[in-house]
Amino acid sequence: MNRHEKAKNFKQVNHSVIKIDALQLALGKDSYVADFVPRDALTIKMLWSPHPHARIKSMDVSKAEKMPGVKAVLWYGNVPRIAHCTAGQGFPEPSPYDTFMFDKKVRFVGDRVAAVAAETEEQALAALEVIKVEYELLKPVFSLDEAMAKGAPVIHDESEAHVPIPIPYEPKKNLVAHVACEAGSFEKGLKEADFTFDQTFETPYAQHCPIEPYTSMAQIASSGRIVITTSTQVPFHCRRIVAKTLDVPVQKIRVIKPRIGGGFGCKQEVLLDDVTAMFALRTGRACLWQFNREETFRTGRTRHPFRIRLQTGVKKDGTITAINMDCINNTGAYGGHGLTVVSCAGSKVLPLYHCENIKFDGKSYYTNLPVGGAYRGFGATQAFFAMESLMDQMAEAIGMDPMKFRQINHIREGEGSPIFAALGEGREGTPMTVGSNALAECIVQGAEAIGWKKRQDWRGKTGRYRRGIGMACLMQGSSIPDIDMGAASIKINEDGSFNLLVGATDLGTGSDTVLAQIAAEELETTTDKMIVYSSDTDLTPFDVGAYASSTTYLSGEAVRKAAADAKRQILATGAEMLGVLVEEVHCEDATVQNKDGSKKVSYSDIANYALYQKNQYQIIGTASHITKKSPPPFAAHFAEIEVDTWTGFIRVLNYVSTIDCGTAVNPTLAEGQTEGGTLNGISYALTEEYLFQNGRMMNASFADYHIYSMRDRPPLQTILVPSYEETGPFGAKSVSEICINGPAPVFGNAIYNATGARLNEFPFTPEKVLKAIQAVEKK
Amino acid sequence: MTKGTHTVSFTLNGEKQTFDTRPDEKLLTLLRREGYRGTKYGCGQGTCGACTVLLDGRATYACLLYAMQAEGRSVRTIESVGTFDNPGEFQKELVAAGAVQCGYCIPGMVMSATALMETEKDFEDEIVKEYMDGNLCRCTGYEKIWVALRKVLDRQAAEGNKPAAKKTSSKGAKNEQA
């Protein structure tokens, strides 16, 4: 029996149970932060910097403070100045402490200047207009070249800027982070090659565009504590970071995460909560701050743009002899995630293909542009564009089918990569061998679905409309080994239902449902018996939060262990009630029964017995989980496109996403993750871009920054290819991030296959594609 | 909220109501303030559709409309469509299809689909897309929303002898045909 066949015997896991909050959300019931705002809440508005780089010479808020309805104004003159990091990572962060609640310096268009809390939005906006600010303009830095140049303006010249762990950080050179490693010898590998390649790729800015903008509300409870209800992916990190920034004890803060209207990484950033909490403290009132869409684009976090120089060597037989990946990312004005995103560009990409000589160098630089953050795919998205583009070119050079070239080179079960050990997050990585890998099958099924066999060389193609087929192979990780921790607790109620309390953060992904299924599977009951609560720093156990593709794999295993703990107690009490030894009973269909089923007692009766009748106690299981591995999910993506060679316009005829996520705990939700991430990736590859004028993002609306609508959606096919990850809950590993990495390289390769034009930067807008086609025709 | 300087009267979910307002207040703000919070703020620019309500049966962005423009007209919100005990047809299918991820766009989607179902006789794909084009979703890739919607529309078409869509591009809809 294949290991993944095991999943067929599961009763809750590997079933598409209905997402537990779906009806509530479809009905429009109060669910999100802004739905819980009291009528008398104050509205917060921020005065944003209009300049990319300036020092504030003077500021006068006195007039604003006296404006009608204004309850408080915050600016650098009346708040604590505490260097911190908003990245929403574990502690201590592998990111610089380079941010203050308010500062005397502004570092990008959209940086904070001063904030007002007033009775109405109109009053708050009116007050912002009368805040007087005098700026001393400084020379801005708008590109990596300008940031790295000798004598470049120093963006973080404040004395407090530092990284809390010993890693390279040189703000005087605008250098946010530097990480490097080498396995084998790249130089030696290059000498062994028959063909060598050296190309540079550029990837663009992009925004997550959750339909719910960043939203945070803070209130003062009757106890005097600060209660923050916020659209966050990281409630516990939020509590810790706000406590630090306000200089109040963690004990004084409660963070509640209700339903979240999408995040995709941007709500890992703790971007609003220090201000809402400070206003609540100052005014004693509930204070709401919701970004508008412009603010979400300009001040919200973005995907780090990368410049990637990729050098490789390949032998005629298809052996990749050398890879050197040199990544430079632009973190924008603040350095959160600078190191980790660039590390993941190496660690989530380079292990995919066999190669004995791999070198990696990653650097991050400040600029006076919007700030990079965590975004689904997290560095792997950018690096896979380079890697998979070059894979096709290597295959062509040696005259091999690019699919076959990938098939003979990709990592297999039981194999490791020196990169796993070399590249961690702010420290060395964790050695690992791949325990589950259905990539080979993903490639076969994806190729079949797209019709790979009909793919032909571009040189024979003529006419205005030319079709091309492209592919890419992908991997990601599942949680950060040795760093991330998730915990859960589960207790029984009289009717045999369970309260499952998790710190894990469902931000719309369906993780509450997935975790309920895992608990129900372990407890031999049904998912509808689970009352899931996520997450609340007062009530639920700790969890690092929703990032790094960790929830199913890491928090899921914590839930399974907590359920197993509760199950032991249920078995013991059941055996006591049946008058038999605990070794003689097992759990089945929400009962405890002996081997032949002649004696049984229901969970409900067990709960009543334990709560009310004899030897009373609360049946409650609790567990924490850390991982030693970060098992990669694998995927092969394929697309067929049609290029209009007169206009450069690309039409996507068919897109196939395969995915090996181990056991799909909920196949429908796993498909949904893949479909959503893939379409986001398609939109990112073809149309999304930030347009700047003097550092100001000019297209801050969905009218000008186009994300795909139902009409734009091309035919999309998702294929779940099962494997079984022994270290994950019921064989599961991660699913949500990997899919966004595919479209850019897949389309790049398909455009080449259609026209012979190779584009090393995207989005593949008609203008860019046309220019590239014309360059081919001139040759 | 400061005291309203004006009043506005309109039929809200079938019931004639009068509210305090000001000339610069948007319908979305008024609705949410008055407890109709299923209508969401997503962009304030009339581009994402999370705030979609029906104004005299037409799908309308409540974030762009001034509350006073609703004077004398009929406004319907998501609250009128379904309840836990009796969800709307499309709501039921959305849930069954696994089409609700974060769910923030869903009430708006439901309202646009309601306008479609109550206005059109022909549910050809192109017409459906026309109606749904103004509702953005970043989570689902629209696949399962499409599947759910097609299911409802095809059923309605069959019941009302309306022509079902001929051709479709989606995997889900293909499965429907199979």
Percent share of chain A, pLDDT over 70 = 100
Q: What residue type is A553 in one-letter code? A: Y
Section A700-711 average pLDDT: 97
Q: Which of B31, B110, B143 should be substituted to probe chain A, the one whose Cβ sees the most A Cβ atoms within 10 Å? A: B143
pLDDT at A424: 83
Rounded distance between C-alpha atoms, residue A710 and residue B128, angstroms:
9
Q: Which helix (H) or strand (E) holds A646?
A: none
Q: Where are the alpha helices (DSSP H) in A360-475?
A: 380-397, 402-409, 418-422, 439-450
Contact A569, A621 (CB under 8 A): yes
pLDDT at B167: 47
Section A8-31 average pLDDT: 97
Which chain B residue is nearest to residue A736, measuring alpha carbons? Answer: B139
Rounded distance between C-alpha atoms, residue A496 and residue A587, angstroms:
13
The half-sphere exposure of A131 on its side-chain side, counting CA atoms within 13 A, is 26
Alpha-carbon gap: A738 to the closest alpha carbon of chain B (Å)? 14
Question: Of A26-30, A417-421, A436-440, where does mean pLDDT reach its minimum?
Answer: A417-421
Contact A279, A74 (CB under 8 A): yes
DSSP secondary structure letter of residue A660: B
Phi-psi region of A379 (alpha: psi -120 to 50; beta: other; left: phi over 0): left
A-chain residues near B96 (CB < 8 A):
18
Instruction: Give phi and psi for A253, each to the nearest 5.
Output: -120, 135
**Strand partners of residue A490:** A500, A621
pLDDT at A3: 75
Judged by CB atoms within 8 Å, which residues 156-175 of B form the interface with A? 169-171
Model pLDDT for residues A716-760, shown as the tens digit of each residue: 999 999 999 999 999 999 999 999 999 999 999 999 999 999 999
Rounded distance between C-alpha atoms, residue A732 and residue A666, angstroms:
10
Nearest Cα neighbor of A669 from A519, A510, A504 is: A510
Contact A710 B142 (CB under 8 A): yes
CB–CB contacts below 8 A, A to B: 206
Contact A206, A375 (CB under 8 A): yes
Q: How far apart are the first and last CA of chain A?
A: 56
Instruction: Give phi and psi for A195, each to the nearest 5.
Output: -130, 140
Could you tell me the strand order of the sheet in which A226-230 lies? A70-74, A112-118, A42-48, A287-290, A215-220, A226-230, A253-256
Q: Where are the alpha helices (DSSP H) in A498-547?
A: 511-523
Which one has a higher pLDDT value, A777 or A139?
Answer: A139
> Around Cβ A18, how many Cβ atoms within 10 Å?
18
Taking the Cβ of residue B151 and every Cβ of chain A, the question of whether any pair is shorter than 8 Å is answered with no
Q: Tokens standing for A143?
A: 């590109």
Q: pLDDT at residue A301 above 70?
A: yes
Per-residue pLDDT of chain B (178 residues; tens, 9 = 90+): 456 789 999 999 999 999 999 999 999 999 999 999 999 999 999 999 999 999 999 999 999 999 999 999 999 999 999 999 999 999 999 999 999 999 999 999 999 999 999 999 999 999 999 999 999 999 999 999 999 999 999 999 998 755 555 544 444 333 333 3
> What are the C-alpha distances in Å from A44 to residues A285, A292, A694, A746?
12, 12, 27, 43
Rounded distance between C-alpha atoms, residue A236 and residue A482, angstroms:
18
The half-sphere exposure of A440 on its side-chain side, counting CA atoms within 13 A, is 8
Which chain A residue is nearest to residue B90, measuring alpha carbons? Answer: A26
**ipTM of this predicted structure:** 0.97
Taking the Cβ of residue B10 and every Cβ of chain A, the question of whether any pair is shorter than 8 Å is answered with no
Percent share of chain A, pLDDT over 90 = 97
Q: Tokens standing for A502?
A: 């998790």
Rounded distance between C-alpha atoms, residue A544 and residue A549, angstroms:
11
Rounded distance between C-alpha atoms, residue B34 and residue B21, angstroms:
11
Q: What residue type is A663 in one-letter code? A: T
Going by their DSSP bridges, the two strands B6-12 and B15-21 should be labelled as antiparallel
pTM of the model: 0.96
Rounded distance between C-alpha atoms, residue B91 and residue B97, angstroms:
10
Orientation of helix A743-755 relative to helix A667-686, angle to 10°: 50
Instruction: Tell me what the pLDDT averaged over chain A comes to.
Output: 97
Model pLDDT for residues A200-248, shown as the tens digit of each residue: 999 999 999 999 999 999 999 999 999 999 999 999 999 999 999 999 9
A-chain residues near B143 (CB < 8 A):
671-672, 675, 713, 716, 718
Model pLDDT for residues A327-378, shown as the tens digit of each residue: 999 999 999 999 999 999 999 999 999 999 999 999 999 999 999 999 999 9
Closest partner CB to A25 (pick from B24, B96, B103) = B103
Model pLDDT for residues A77-103, shown as the tens digit of each residue: 999 999 999 999 999 999 999 999 999
Model pLDDT for residues A35-62, shown as the tens digit of each residue: 999 999 999 999 999 999 999 999 999 9
Taking the Cβ of residue B41 and every Cβ of chain A, the question of whether any pair is shorter than 8 Å is answered with yes
